[in-house]
Structure 1
Amino acid sequence: MTVRPIMETRPQEDPSWWGAILLGAVFIIAGLIVLGDVVAATVISAFLIGIVLIIAGISEVFQSFSAPHWRSFFWRLLIGLLYAVAGLMLVTNPAGASIALTLVFALALIASGIVRIVQAMEYWQWFGWLLLASGIVGIAAGLVILSKWPISGLWVLGLVVGIDLLVHGFWWITLGLGLRRDSRAIAA
């Protein structure tokens, strides 16, 4: 009978931590680029949203012809045409359209802030105070945007996209560092 040596088995280090850090760095760089010229980022965002709306609208128009009932056909055709028209407005005049988008965005922030404040009372035991704070910040942000509107329409979307990219990038880096720390603790 031969005795086999027991091989030490150690879990392999998870390589995904560096991928998360790399992705976070890409998001942060993109966020800094966007924040470097928020007006250009706003116009580009409006233009890209317009292209997506045109594609969605055309798709909906074509899809409406497969509707089994005339009523469905009419509504789907109308929705597709509205998407396409809105997209054309964004593509042909992204700066002007971004001003309108900013107005809608500010009103949506205020409305969602009010809803979050109402929900905070209902969910108070589950960190409702944080929901309340989020609602107050949402309302305040909407009011600040409205107070500077229509000029704010030229920079708000770019600023929001830039900040979102930065925060998301920091989250990815934090996740990557946490994965690295945890994989080393398991391997040791």
Structure 2
Amino acid sequence: MTANPIPETHSKADPSWWGAILVGVIFVFAGFFVLGDVVAATVISAFLIGVLLLVVGAAEIIQAFSAQYWRGFFLRLLVGALYIVAGLMLVTDPARASVTLTLVFALALIASGVVRIVQAFQYWEWFGGLLLLSGIVGIAAGLIILSKWPLSGLWVLGAVVGIDLVLHGLWWISLGGRLRRERHTAPT
């Protein structure tokens, strides 16, 4: 009696490959939908981040009062209050707040790019060239965003979310295609 080399999860009724492709298609369509109006997507993203900051701030304040020890109480209270203030700023005026978020995002891209370039030379034998390219692209993207700032604050976050959705969707579609190929080429 020989064991079946294909695990039970890869039976003929296995929807994993087409499920992955379906998820990918949904992500791609969502990404193109977001890219259709990046300004609205930016404002909505800023609003949602604000709501999350309000929830996190409230949780931090509750944690400060419910902690077993009072050590760090005022620091937790301060952090919670800062989260709430930032959240209120994002919720009450998401368009203006998105301009500030875009500035922070551009500066983070530049800083991250510099770090990646330094690391590329430290880890050159482990695809350091790719890391170097990634750092250069990060710095260039940050500088492009800064060169158009504050106007870029109205579209950058939405564009990044849209592009991310499309790329993530393409990954899911590729994964589904590979799962399908492996299923059809596996010995039965």
> Smaller-chain TM-score range?
over 0.9
Distance 1:20 1:187 in 2: 22
One-letter identity of the residue aligned with 2:50:
G
Distance 1:9 1:138 in 2: 48
For the aligned residues, what is the CA RMSD? 1.7
- Equivalent residue number for residue 162 of structure 2: 162
- Equivalent residue number for residue 140 of structure 1: 140
- 1:66 to partner: Cα distance: 2.2
- Equivalent residue number for residue 3 of structure 1: none
Q: Bigger radius of gyration, 1 or 2?
A: 1
- 1:53 to partner: Cα distance: 0.5
- Equivalent residue number for residue 152 of structure 1: 152
Structure 1's 186 and 91: CA in aligned 2 closer, same or farther, altered over 3 A? same
- Equivalent residue number for residue 111 of structure 2: 111
Residue 61 (structure 2) pairs with residue 61 (structure 1): yes
- 1:20 to partner: Cα distance: 0.3
Q: Name the % identity.
A: 68
Q: SS of 2:149's equivalent?
A: coil
**Displacement over 2 Å in runs of 4+:** 6-11, 66-71
- 1:67 to partner: Cα distance: 2.9
Distance 2:52 2:3 in 1: 55
Residue 19 (structure 2) pairs with residue 31 (structure 1): no
The runs of 5 or more residues in structure 1 that have no matched partner are 1-5
String of CA shifts for 1:96-138, please: whole Å, max 9, x gaps.
0000000000000000000000000000000000000000000
Distance 2:94 2:23 in 1: 29
Distance 1:54 1:8 in 2: 55
The runs of 5 or more residues in structure 2 that have no matched partner are none
- Equivalent residue number for residue 91 of structure 2: 91
TM-score, scaled relative to structure 2: 0.93
Structure 1's 99 and 8: CA in aligned 2 closer, same or farther, altered over 3 A? closer
Distance 1:50 1:9 in 2: 52
TM-score, scaled relative to structure 1: 0.93
